[in-house]
Structure 1
Amino acid sequence: MRIILVTGTGGAGRTAVATATALAEARAGRRVVLVSGDTGDTGDTGADVADTGPGTLRLLTPTPAADFRREFLALQARSTTALDLLGTTPFEDAELTELPGSAQFALLRAVRDAAVTDADLVVVDLPPLREALALLALPEQLRRYLRRLLPPERQAARALRPMLAQLAGVPLPAQWLYETTARWEAELAAVQEVVDSPDTGVRLVVEPGPAASDALRTARLGLALQGLALDAVVANRVLPADSADPWFAALAAEQHRHLAALREEHPAVRELPHLGRAPRGPEDLLLLAVEDTPAAPVPGWRVEDRREADGILVWHVPLPGAVKDGLSLVRRGDELLLAAGPFRRNVPLPAVLRRCTVTGAGLVEGDLRIRFTPDPGLWPKAAP
């Protein structure tokens, strides 16, 4: 299954592009699922989006409020004993309102649900760029938090909890807590598998202008830090270059200068015309469709073994657009805390590097090279 994640700068028309792409692929005969919680950018399309011809198009809309109430009430029901001990009054469905962050979790759940359908293609309308990058990093981050707070190995001692509770005189964490954690871990792992799949691609929608190149650099750096690739840049609302009006021609020339700058930074730039109005119905949307292309290769994080030359190993981390002053590296146990510009990630070290010490790092043309020296106390000794 092919999955296209569409994001972009605010107001650039990412929702219209995502909807148009899904509609065009459905009309070409494919089974398509469009995941979108925002219908404000598509114009007056209404139910006409479902008129796809030979294929099928299903709209999957996240339900943040309903998801939040369902999860909260289920958690409350499983913790009745503990809440009774505290003398708390349980909440009822009618008095619950969703909390900040519910929309992000609902969107991730919708992406997971779409990935297990029989669709040929899933198009996901993500939030604006910065929010989208944070959203794509969320499953891995939350799984790390769960493992730290409730390590899986503690569950092996669950058979001892009744006896320990009698000795201590207080109830210990109930089995439902570990079961709930395991369920959350499974759901997050399923979402992360979708995001990390080689069949998943990311598209950036921008309007040619001063902010477009900055958005592209931000997208490439943020995605690369997560080990993801940018498939294509979609330049939306491009003005025609052959106008006889000097004022209009100057605007078009300015746009095309920015388009040239985008092409210098990314090889796959797709242009979409300015319609002169908001898209009205499927026929207008089809003018904004971007044909599907193979997913871009994921930037490889590789370990170079140079022990025979200078006794070190080098971990190559591609970070296009990174600058030296914006980089930070901290080794903590078997993880590397890596910061690049405004982005951070806790990266598990490859097994071969866990027995080494960090001895330096350098940034060469977007390639972060972290040097490791084998620790004699941990490295296997060669046979005599």
Structure 2
Amino acid sequence: MRTLLITGPGGAGRTTVAAATALAAARQGTRTLVLSADPTDTLGAALGTPTGPRPTEAAPHLTAWRPDPATAFRADLTALQDRATTALDLLGATRLDPEELTPLPGAAELALLRALRDAALAADAHDLLVVDLPPAPHAVALLGLPEELRRYLRRLLPPERQAARALRPVLGRLAGVPMPAEWLYEKAARWDVELAAAEAVLADRDTVVRLVAEPSPAGLDAVRATTLGLALRGLRTDVLVANRVFAEPTADTRLAGVVAQQRKAVDEWRETYDVHSVDHLGRDPRGTDDLTALTVPPAPTPRRGPTTEWAVTDRIAEDGVLVWHIPLPGAVRDDLDLIRRGDELVVTAGPFRRIVPLPSALRRCTVSGAGLRDGELRIRFTPDPGLWPTGR
């Protein structure tokens, strides 16, 4: 199953473009599922069919789904309370009833990731998954959430410690403190599997990210920042949709200024991106007729190769170093920061940060320098004589 992730600045029309793209694919006979986490049914308004927590047939070959974060949040927290009954009773805590639970910030993102995982597990039911992501930069944070949460779980509850569960009561008596219960490790293992499934969808070569933005100075800045955040996560866009573009010049001097501004922004985008312009209809698109009138780009074909390659080149014979190449289009040298911490590298690019494990060869090296050239960060590693094979 191909997966198309659509995001862009808030108010740029990304939900409308997602709906139009899904509808166009469905009308070509592609079994399509369009997924959105918008709490207000913007997707349903665009399709002309209300959407909700149950998948709905919006058109032939087109299914729309808007998962309910409140239901998933109540179910998860209630289950957690049931498993922690003993601890809660010892603390004298009062249990929360499901009816009084209100989703906390982040519940919508977790619900969307779970729906993304469920859709991937039922991949035989659809050929194309179109996901209406939250506005950037929230979408960038969401795309990095599975990796970050899995890292937290591994640090807080290392899987290898579960192997010593037979010794846990003895260790608890010796240490004088209660040890983590078996159910906690089991829950962490289930979370890890679920997060790994979502992470696999995002890393799949048939998954692409598409940006939607209005051509304007603010749109230029937003696209540049979002592209940088996606690249740091190992993703890049296949098409940049310049939305709500006025097709013809006008005698209205006020509108003529907007048209000229849009043309300038589109021309600047074309120097870097594959740009597809969508004309302004003169109204907010509503219903399948309006969506069909939008000339959105087609869904990507399989194997477009969306992931950026973080390649390691061997330059030991020439310069005595290994070089790690990290594509970061739009990065500024003064906004970059690198920290080596054990077998991990902390990379900061502008407002974005990612902690990545070093490839095995680089773990036996020391960082000897870094430079930014042509939108690519190149980190030099010198082999550690105490760890590097002597015959190398």
1:318 aligned partner: 327
SS in 2 for 1:59: strand
How big is each residue's C-alpha offset from its partner over 1:197-241, in whole Å with a ceiling of 9 and x where there is no partner? Answer: 110010110011111221221122111111111111001111022
The reply on whether 1:358 has 2:367 as its aligned counterpart is: yes
For residues 130 and 167 of structure 1, the distance between their equivalents in structure 2, rounded to whole angstroms, comes to: 48
How big is each residue's C-alpha offset from its partner over 1:38-89, in whole Å with a ceiling of 9 and x where there is no partner? Answer: 2236646432894534xx2111212111111100011111111222222222
The reply on whether 1:105 has 2:105 as its aligned counterpart is: no
After TM superposition, give the deviation of residue 167 of structure 1 in Å.
Answer: 5.2
Residues 3 and 128, structure 2, Cα contact 8 Å, conserved in 1: yes
* CA pair 96-41 structure 1, distance change in 2 beyond 3 A: closer
SS in 1 for 2:234: coil
For residues 86 and 175 of structure 2, the distance between their equivalents in structure 1, rounded to whole angstroms, comes to: 17
- Superposed CA RMSD in Å reads 1.8
Within-5 A mapping of 1:258-337: 258-266=265-273, 268-288=274-294, 289-294=296-301, 295-337=304-346
**Which among 173, 186, 201 is matched to residue 194 of structure 1?**
201
Aligned letter for 2:99? Answer: A
After TM superposition, give the deviation of residue 286 of structure 1 in Å.
Answer: 1.5
For residues 197 and 334 of structure 2, the distance between their equivalents in structure 1, rounded to whole angstroms, comes to: 36
Residues 36 and 66, structure 2, Cα contact 8 Å, conserved in 1: yes
SS in 2 for 1:129: coil
Q: TM-score, normalised by structure 1?
A: 0.94
SS in 2 for 1:34: strand
Residues 313 and 373, structure 1, Cα contact 8 Å, conserved in 2: yes
* CA pair 327-166 structure 1, distance change in 2 beyond 3 A: closer
How big is each residue's C-alpha offset from its partner over 1:251-309, in whole Å with a ceiling of 9 and x where there is no partner? Answer: 3222111110111121x111111011111210101223331123354221111111111
Within-5 A mapping of 1:1-384: 1-38=1-38, 39-40=41-42, 43=45, 45-47=47-49, 50=57, 52-53=59-60, 56-117=61-122, 118-165=125-172, 171-266=178-273, 268-288=274-294, 289-294=296-301, 295-382=304-391
SS in 2 for 1:184: helix
Of the structure 1 ranges 27-36 and 285-294, higher mean CA displacement relative to structure 2 is found in 285-294
Aligned letter for 1:286? Answer: T
After TM superposition, give the deviation of residue 166 of structure 1 in Å.
Answer: 5.1
After TM superposition, give the deviation of residue 350 of structure 1 in Å.
Answer: 0.3
After TM superposition, give the deviation of residue 37 of structure 1 in Å.
Answer: 2.5
For residues 153 and 184 of structure 2, the distance between their equivalents in structure 1, rounded to whole angstroms, comes to: 11
For residues 147 and 163 of structure 2, the distance between their equivalents in structure 1, rounded to whole angstroms, comes to: 24
For residues 368 and 175 of structure 2, the distance between their equivalents in structure 1, rounded to whole angstroms, comes to: 48
Structure 1 runs (4+) greater than 6 angstroms displaced:
none
Aligned letter for 2:378? Answer: R
For residues 375 and 164 of structure 1, the distance between their equivalents in structure 2, rounded to whole angstroms, comes to: 38
For residues 159 and 11 of structure 2, the distance between their equivalents in structure 1, rounded to whole angstroms, comes to: 44
For residues 281 and 224 of structure 1, the distance between their equivalents in structure 2, rounded to whole angstroms, comes to: 34
Of the structure 1 ranges 292-301 and 208-217, higher mean CA displacement relative to structure 2 is found in 292-301
Residues 155 and 178, structure 1, Cα contact 8 Å, conserved in 2: yes
After TM superposition, give the deviation of residue 28 of structure 1 in Å.
Answer: 1.1
Aligned letter for 1:68? Answer: F
Aligned letter for 1:332? Answer: R
Runs of 5+ in structure 2 lacking a partner? 51-55
SS in 1 for 2:330: coil
Aligned letter for 1:278? Answer: D
* CA pair 381-238 structure 1, distance change in 2 beyond 3 A: same
* CA pair 52-209 structure 1, distance change in 2 beyond 3 A: same
SS in 1 for 2:300: coil
SS in 2 for 1:68: helix
Residues 334 and 349, structure 1, Cα contact 8 Å, conserved in 2: yes
Residues 368 and 382, structure 2, Cα contact 8 Å, conserved in 1: yes
Residues 3 and 129, structure 2, Cα contact 8 Å, conserved in 1: yes
For residues 43 and 92 of structure 2, the distance between their equivalents in structure 1, rounded to whole angstroms, comes to: 48
Runs of 5+ in structure 1 lacking a partner? none
After TM superposition, give the deviation of residue 8 of structure 1 in Å.
Answer: 0.7
Residues 209 and 306, structure 2, Cα contact 8 Å, conserved in 1: no
Residues 33 and 123, structure 1, Cα contact 8 Å, conserved in 2: yes
For residues 189 and 351 of structure 2, the distance between their equivalents in structure 1, rounded to whole angstroms, comes to: 31
Residues 355 and 374, structure 1, Cα contact 8 Å, conserved in 2: yes
After TM superposition, give the deviation of residue 92 of structure 1 in Å.
Answer: 1.6
For residues 175 and 371 of structure 2, the distance between their equivalents in structure 1, rounded to whole angstroms, comes to: 54
